[in-house]
Amino acid sequence: MSRFRFRLLYLVLLPAIAIAAGVLGYYSWRAATSYTRLGEETIAESTLLLVSEKVDQVEQEIIEADNAIFAMVRIGTPTAIEEAFAELGPEQTPSVRAVLILDDTGNVLGYAFNGGGDEKRELLKVFQDSILPDLELERQRLWRLKHLHATYDDTAYLISYKAMRRNGRRYYIVAQHDTAWIVRDLFPELFATEEGKRLYNVVDEEHHRVYGPSLTRAGDYVVGRRFPTTLYNWRLQIAPKQAPLLERQSRTRRWNEIALVAIAFLVILLGVGFVLWAADKERRLNALKAEFVANVSHELKTPLSVVRMFAELLLTKRVQSEEKQEQYLELICRESERLSALIENVLDFAALEGGKRKYELRDGHLEDVVTRAIDTFRYRIESEGGDVCLEVDPELPLVRLDEQAVLLSVINLLDNAVKYGRGSPVQVRIERDEDFVKISVRDRGPGIPPGEHRRVFERFYRTRKNPVDVRGSGIGLSLVKHIAEAHGGKAWAENAPEGGAIVGFSVRVAPAPHPVPSAGEPAIS
């Protein structure tokens, strides 16, 4: 019946996946085709209006700062320029870094600078050596605002200047704008929208980017305009919102079509892979469940047969000596404990699978629970010729635990060590590890095969190299992992360097109790 369901699943699901892949490919192809038509819908005039608006805003900001500076200057008292510039403040003229007043021979009559002394002297030297000759002040018309935008020593300068007349002599007012502030503060403020971050940039005459991202992906859809009077060596560029998409689609349309076909086949392959994976997983789970039922049946049958056989011998009084009678009673007691442990494991596992297992966590000492588990299991260890050694770190803290659950976990670890250790000594260790207390049980058996250290905690799983005469249900370590995680810890398994396996789990340390103030002592808030 199971195979028939799988075949029916293949016959129904695989054609459905193929049809879905075809529909997906068809609609994706239609969407790609519609995107290629967006190039015909780009309106160059609206983009040109947008770039002109932004250029005018930058020009207006700079010219307004110029007018504020020129309005504050008093030619009659040029030395008072520094105080007047300080009163004007950076709020009204944030881009202006320096103001100079010159006479008709180019001598500096007044100088105000927003910065340190070394920068002031350096700017004055660059101005006198390089900038002043390029201004051509003698050819400047009176009361006309002009700008110089040039690069000196790899630094861009923006100079605003105006010629005035007083008492028959010509004077010049010069303002130096901080181009770094314009790029750093003014441009981001004007292009602060999300579209601006993606679509605007400023380049110089050599097409080096001054501000903003590269627009090379936009290709022929970039619209630019030079700043007319102020930053005239720079150009503001804007790409339409659809430009990168249009340019990319025009170059990669064929690749998109190939990709659509590949995606359709990939969907089919993924669907087939998922079906095969699910079917294989269910098959393996069914096999593990069948093995689990067989193992549990055998585990239940063996101790029951032993108990029944020796009970009948005792009941029929065919035991001749008291020594034999005591030996048979010990065997019945041992097999009964084994049977009880197996039934308890199965019941706890069923409760966990059904989500009915609830833990009652209380503060307690972990070493007490481990000691009780060893005492409970010691008879079986010693009856098989082995011995158990317990090592406990001093001054272990309290932990939050469910005693019965932790007791079951330790017994499962001891049972696992006895089965695979074959009568060799078993070492149990309890130690502190930061916020956890760790319990580890070591045996002297063959160890865990490579690559199976994590799988040993899976339900129903047993190692591939498991000895034939070592039987088990495959749920003991699964319970250990679940109980450890319910206590805020984890379970682990590893091979010891000297041989054998070390399997253990950790439990979280109990939180420290809040101190209660004594009578008459004020509480600390």
For 256, the domain range is 2-34+246-307
Give the integer Cα–Cα distance in Å for 294 and 457.
19
Q: Which two tokens stand for residue 371?
A: 């000691």
CA 525 to CA 514: how far, in whole Å?
Answer: 12
Does residue 30 sit in the same domain as residue 14? yes
CA-CA distance, 184 to 94, in Å (whole number)? 12
pLDDT interval class at 519 (50, 70, 90)? very low
Which tops the pLDDT comparison, 268 or 94?
Answer: 94
Is the domain of 182 the same as that of 60?
yes
Looking at the fold, whether 280 and 418 belong to one and the same domain comes out as no
* pLDDT band, residue 434 (cuts 50/70/90): confident
**Residue 484: both structure tokens together:** 């450890």
**What does the angle CA 362 – CA 494 – CA 397 come to, to the nearest 5 degrees?**
25
What CATH number did the domain enclosing 500 receive?
3.30.565.10
| Cα–Cα distance list, 255 to 63, 260, 263 (Å) | 51, 9, 12
Looking at the structure, do residues 266 and 387 belong to the same domain, yes or no?
no
In this structure, the answer to whether residues 380 and 487 fall within a common structural domain is yes
Q: pLDDT exceeding 70 applies to what percent of the chain?
A: 74
Whether residues 278 and 400 share a domain: the answer is: no
> What's phi and psi for 487, nearest 5 deg?
-100, 15
Element (H, E) at 113: strand 108-113
149 falls in which pLDDT band (50, 70, 90)?
Answer: very high
Distance (Å, whole) CA 442 – CA 493: 10
Q: What is the mean pLDDT of residues 13-26?
A: 68
Question: H or E element: which one contains 236?
Answer: strand 235-238
Classify residue 180: in a domain, yes or no. yes
Q: Given phi > 0 = left and psi -120 to 50 = alpha, else beta, which region is 89?
A: left
Same domain, 499 and 367: yes
Largest CA-CA distance found in the chain, in angstroms, rounded: 146
Domain boundary among 191, 207, 241: 241
Residues 119 and 137 in one domain: yes
Supply 327's token pair. 């030996």
DSSP letter, residue 184: I
Buried b (16+ CB within 10 A) or exposed e, 158-194: bbbbbbeeeeeebbbbbbbbbbeebbeebbeebbeee
Residue reference for tokens 């927003």: 114
Q: Judge if 176 and 109 occupy the same domain.
A: yes
| Pair (495, 434) in one structural domain | yes
pLDDT interval class at 482 (50, 70, 90): confident
Kindly state whether residues 228 and 294 are assigned to the same domain. Answer: no
Number of structural domains the chain divides into: 3
Domain shared by 11 and 120, yes or no: no
Secondary structure, 3-state, 407-443: HHHHHHHHHHHHHHHCCCCEEEEEEEECCEEEEEEEC
Among 182, 190, 156, smallest CA distance to 94 is for: 182
At 441 the pLDDT is 93
pLDDT digits (tens, 9 = 90+) for 345-372: 666 666 666 556 677 888 998 999 899 8
Question: Per the confidence metrics, is the pTM higher than 0.85?
Answer: no
Q: Contact 384/418 with Cβ under 8 angstroms?
A: yes
516 in a domain, yes or no?
no
Tell me the per-residue pLDDT of 8-19, one tens digit each, with 9 for 90 and over: 666 676 677 667
Q: What does the alpha-carbon distance between residue 342 and residue 299 come to, in Å, rounded to a whole number?
A: 8
